[in-house]
A and B are shown apart, each in its own frame.
Chain A
Amino acid sequence: MADKVNINPVSRVGGHLSVELTVENGKVSDAKVSGNSVRGFERILTGKDPGDVSFITQRICSDGHVANAIAAAKALEDAWGVQVPSNARIMRNIMLAASTVSSHIGWFYHRALTDYIDFNALTAYQGKDRDLISLRERFKELSSRGEGDPFVPQAAGDYLSDADAVATLFSHSIDAYGARRDADAIVAVLGGRSPMGCSVVPGGVTNRPDAAMVSALVGRLRDLSDWVKEALIADVLALAPEIVRFADLGIGVPNFMSLGAYPLDNRDNDKFMPRGIITGGDVSIVEDLAFERIEEHVSASRYAAETGRRHPSVGETEFSAARDGAYSFVKAPRYDGRPVETGPLARLLVKQDETLLGLRKKLNIGQSVLARMIARSVEAGLLATAMLDWLTEIRLDDPAMAGDIELRNRDGFGLSEGHDGSLGHWIRMENGQVALFQAVSGSTWNLSPRDDEGKRGPLEEALIGTPVTDLGNPIDALRVIRSFDPCVYCATH
């Protein structure tokens, strides 16, 4: 006998997400994930001046603003045959890394943590740390008046309730706002403002580096790197042994992709997060990508049926909001007909990163909820450290903008990696205007509904088999969902 459970909205995600679970014998036997809002960026940019694209696409999502600016600039650079100078490449890499680190900090402390610790355990803290005592007293006072939001009331769950551990995590979750603010300041030193900067344009970066800029970054990058190591990574690794059962939870599709980001040379060959794809489950085999094998299906998506199964370079965005059988505004991207997971875990698997692979083996976490959590924090550490190295490569005598650019009415595409996964922009220009603009983001891949063959998207697949002991409180299902750091703003744009 099957029960249906609807969760709308799923909280602590980006944008408006819901899920319909079918539960049989105490486990999820089917899942439909829905992105419930859309704005139409692809339509809005059609007919516009190409110079608008790297600015406006940032507003697809605040977490993805740098990734979108870069993908857009690269799409135009691809169309116009432009190679950006080293300084621009390095500055873009630092901005993207800092923005991604900011998002990962926010994910763990402000979105995920509520699923794993009992905030009320802080009131039992008996230690001597003055800041923790102060926080305990303040929280006690607020809770006594029913003012513990937005930390409590939590849903019932099997939470970590060790007072010392919870006190530290609670305190770090508050400090995390400051860490995010500081990471955003790093982006702003180069970008002018964060979120939504203004220095990434086709041809490079407008903000010509000078000594003041570099000096403003050195201390900030060191501080951020220290915080990521001493708080985020330390906290995740301390929490991991307490939540080992999540090493078996939320295993999705056996396909992982990275479109590549953080180019280390000016010909876009070598990248800090390499480009590649893993299919069929053997994570030691990484293959090259063939971009022409990407298609977006719409059979379960709220778009006109005839726009389905298109490569993004010939894609269309025609809403059909109430179409029969459609349950999401997220399209269904497929690579070679396969649903593919993207994001920090996918990137580090494609990179064959030693730290992640070592932890994965040691803790036996596979491709689970726990693997995604650990991968996200490991990636934050890698990026925070890399930024310091990249900064030393900036040359103050060199330009940050390419020379003369010839505007061409041609197609182009630009690829990058956002906080949630693989990002691609496809553009065509005619008569000096944008004639086509299509975006596929990490969350489009991850949150996708079924395709024409009825194959579930990665998150839907990851939910299968998840235990549900209380139909009114499917907490494990929510943990699986959040492990992808879902963003409907990115997914539907």
Chain B
Amino acid sequence: MRALVSNVSRRDFLKYCGTIAAVIGLSRREGAAIAQAAESTVKPPLFWIEAQACGGCQRSFFNSENPDAARLLLELLGVKYLNSLSPRSGVDAITAVLQPPEGERPGGKPILIVEGSLPLGGGGRFCIVGNDGNADISASSLVRRLSGDARAIIAAGSCAAYGGIPASKEGGTGAARLSRILPDKQIVNIPGCPPHPDWLVATIMHVLLFGSIPERDRDGRPKMFYRHTVHDLCERRAAFDEGRLIDSFSDLVPGDDRCLLNMGCKGPITHSDCPQRRWNGGVSWCIGAGGPCHGCTEPDFYERMSPLLSRVPGIAPAAGGTRSGVDTVGKIVVGGTAAVIAGHAVFSAATRFVESRRKESESLTDDIKGRGKGKSKAAKEDSGKPDDSNG
């Protein structure tokens, strides 16, 4: 990698490689090896395909602090196709993506990133990404065509990784996770809605520098970022242990550090390093802003995390501030995520729930519980039907 600005010293450059190494959890010596490995002068090609997306994953990606977007675009990655940035349109743009180059690509095989879910319904019509002059091209079709040649395939964000919000049953488009479209391929899932830029960037860098995808958990996520639960890493854990919880957002005081469990925090069942890494250059994070964790890195996000403001059942502060309840808590909840249901008030977000409405909510709760029981395992399995949205 050549320095972007001519007066960056080699020392700065090595320090930068050290930063990358630290992000990936490597030693300083390995950081120097990275510098050497990265001396290749040709940027590796990258195809970023938007499917049923919202643009949040790429916006998060380009908010990366270090390496920043300038370095990503000018030094590290050859962004050969991303519709939101592509200089050209139409047939010119889409056929340039689809035509494999003659011979070896300089820079090696491309990395394929997919953002958004893929619709199984409507004959592909719910997401058409282009027309090659003969026929419309669906997102699934484009992704399949690009997957054969890929050095690595990354499902960026919860929609690509697990189906996300569009895969909710009522969505009506048959939105599915990427692995439904590419069942025989190894895919690295980087869930989050959106994912933290570091998770995406470091995964790409791992592929580029070590030629392999990072070690993943059973949900396909790199263990280095998704190993622990938010609950285990949370700065408000002491408050949980001591039973200092808020029951209403209007209870919050400036600098409040009380636990948000009763506001629906899904921290105990959510794997991510948000509490440590924090967001947007470390200025804040969801719980830090008084917002309960929605569980957006989990396969269960979104539908099985709903209601977002209702408490995860089966979790209570351990008596006397000890850790005794923690491991048990994790186990109970993982088995029962389908039963994440309103324990009491349907809407507990703002304040006290008015007594006259309580009866309505109780009958609703019973109704939801009845539906919840039937969904626990079946919901996780693919039925294979074209309309199945939980891919």
Binds B, one of A200-208, A336-344, A449-457, A459-467: A200-208
Instruction: Tell me whether B273 is interfacial, beta carbon within 8 Å.
Output: no
Binds B, one of A149-157, A259-267, A348-356, A372-380: A149-157
Instruction: Tell me whether B270 is interfacial, beta carbon within 8 Å.
Output: no
Contacts of B156-213 to chain A: CB distance below 8 A = 165-166, 168, 170-173, 175, 193-194
- Can you list 28 A-B pairs with a CB-CB distance of less than 8 A? A7-B90, A11-B84, A12-B85, A38-B173, A39-B52, A40-B166, A40-B168, A50-B347, A51-B307, A55-B308, A62-B55, A62-B194, A110-B85, A131-B5, A151-B87, A185-B281, A192-B284, A198-B289, A198-B291, A198-B294, A199-B290, A199-B291, A201-B249, A206-B249, A210-B254, A319-B172, A407-B346, A407-B354
CB-CB under 8 A from A82, the residues of chain B are 350
Instruction: Tell me whether A27 is interfacial, beta carbon within 8 Å.
Output: no
The smallest C-beta distance from B190 to any residue of chain A, in angstroms, reads: 15
Give A302's nearest chain B residue, CB to CB: B125
CB-CB under 8 A from A8, the residues of chain B are 90-91, 94, 128, 130-131, 136
Contacts of A108-126 to chain B: CB distance below 8 A = 110-111, 114
Classify chain B's interface size.
35 or more
CB-CB under 8 A from B279, the residues of chain A are 188, 192-194
Give the residue of B74, B84, B165, B294 whose beta carbon is less than 8 angstroms from that of A138: B74
Binary flags per residue of A351-383, CB closer than 8 Å to B gives 1, else 0:
000000000000000000000000000000000
CA distance A406 to B349 in the complex (A): 11
CB-CB under 8 A from B302, the residues of chain A are 56
The smallest C-beta distance from A215 to any residue of chain B, in angstroms, reads: 12
Binary flags per residue of B343-360, CB closer than 8 Å to A gives 1, else 0:
001111111111001001
Are A150 and B85 touching (Cβ within 8 A)?
Answer: yes
Give the residue of A40, A184, A329 whose beta carbon is less than 8 angstroms from that of B63: A184
CA distance A147 to B42 in the complex (A): 8
Are B354 and A404 touching (Cβ within 8 A)?
Answer: yes
Instruction: Tell me whether B214 is interfacial, beta carbon within 8 Å.
Output: no
CA distance A141 to B347 in the complex (A): 59
CB-CB under 8 A from B378, the residues of chain A are none
CA distance A335 to B348 in the complex (A): 37
Are A177 and B283 touching (Cβ within 8 A)?
Answer: no
Binds A, one of B9-17, B29-37, B75-83, B220-228: B75-83
The smallest C-beta distance from A82 to any residue of chain B, in angstroms, reads: 8
Which residues of A are at the interface with B, using a C-beta cutoff of 8 A? 6-16, 18, 36-41, 43-44, 46-52, 55-56, 59-63, 65, 82, 110-111, 114, 130-131, 133-135, 137-139, 141-142, 145-147, 149-155, 174-175, 177-178, 180-181, 184-185, 187-199, 201-204, 206-212, 216, 302, 317, 319, 321-322, 329, 396, 399-407, 409, 431-433, 478, 489
Are A199 and B289 touching (Cβ within 8 A)?
Answer: yes
Are B54 and A405 touching (Cβ within 8 A)?
Answer: no
Decide if the interface of chain A is mainly helix, strand, loop or mixed: loop
Are B55 and A130 touching (Cβ within 8 A)?
Answer: no
Contacts of B40-75 to chain A: CB distance below 8 A = 41-43, 50-56, 58-60, 62-65, 68-70, 73-74
Are A195 and B59 touching (Cβ within 8 A)?
Answer: yes
Most chain A CB inside 10 Å of its own CB: which residue of B107, B286, B349: B349
Are A489 and B60 touching (Cβ within 8 A)?
Answer: no
CB-CB under 8 A from A211, the residues of chain B are 254
Are A154 and B123 touching (Cβ within 8 A)?
Answer: no
| A39-B173, A55-B294 known, 7 other contacts, Cβ within 8 Å | A8-B130, A9-B89, A39-B117, A44-B165, A59-B165, A409-B360, A433-B364
Are A51 and B308 touching (Cβ within 8 A)?
Answer: yes
CB-CB under 8 A from A191, the residues of chain B are 284, 289
CB-CB under 8 A from A52, the residues of chain B are 306-309
Give A210's nearest chain B residue, CB to CB: B254
Instruction: Tell me whether B250 is interfacial, beta carbon within 8 Å.
Output: yes
Most chain A CB inside 10 Å of its own CB: which residue of B54, B165, B171, B346: B54
CB-CB under 8 A from B357, the residues of chain A are 406-407, 432
Instruction: Tell me whether B334 is interfacial, beta carbon within 8 Å.
Output: no
Give A478's nearest chain B residue, CB to CB: B89
CA distance A234 to B307 in the complex (A): 47
Are B128 and A16 touching (Cβ within 8 A)?
Answer: yes
Give B117's nearest chain A residue, CB to CB: A39
Instruction: Tell me whether B106 is interfacial, beta carbon within 8 Å.
Output: yes
Instruction: Tell me whether B297 is interfacial, beta carbon within 8 Å.
Output: no
Are B308 and A59 touching (Cβ within 8 A)?
Answer: no
The smallest C-beta distance from B5 to any residue of chain A, in angstroms, reads: 5
Q: Which 4 pairs between the two chains have the least Cβ-Cβ distance?
A: A198-B291, A192-B289, A206-B290, A177-B69
The smallest C-beta distance from A193 to any residue of chain B, in angstroms, reads: 4
Give the residue of A43, A406, A409 whose beta carbon is less than 8 angstroms from that of B171: A43
The smallest C-beta distance from A144 to any residue of chain B, in angstroms, reads: 11
Give the residue of A40, A181, A204, A210 whose beta carbon is less than 8 angstroms from that of B170: A40
Give A53's nearest chain B residue, CB to CB: B308
CA distance A407 to B355 in the complex (A): 10
The smallest C-beta distance from A261 to any residue of chain B, in angstroms, reads: 21
Binary flags per residue of B117-132, CB closer than 8 Å to A gives 1, else 0:
1000111011111110
Give the residue of B64, B87, B107, B306 whose beta carbon is less than 8 angstroms from that of A150: B87
Give A48's nearest chain B residue, CB to CB: B306
CA distance A44 to B62 in the complex (A): 29
Are A153 and B128 touching (Cβ within 8 A)?
Answer: no
Are B94 and A198 touching (Cβ within 8 A)?
Answer: no
Give the residue of B51, B128, B173 whose beta carbon is less than 8 angstroms from that of A40: B173
Are A9 and B90 touching (Cβ within 8 A)?
Answer: yes
Give the residue of B73, B130, B253, B309 whose beta carbon is less than 8 angstroms from that of A51: B309
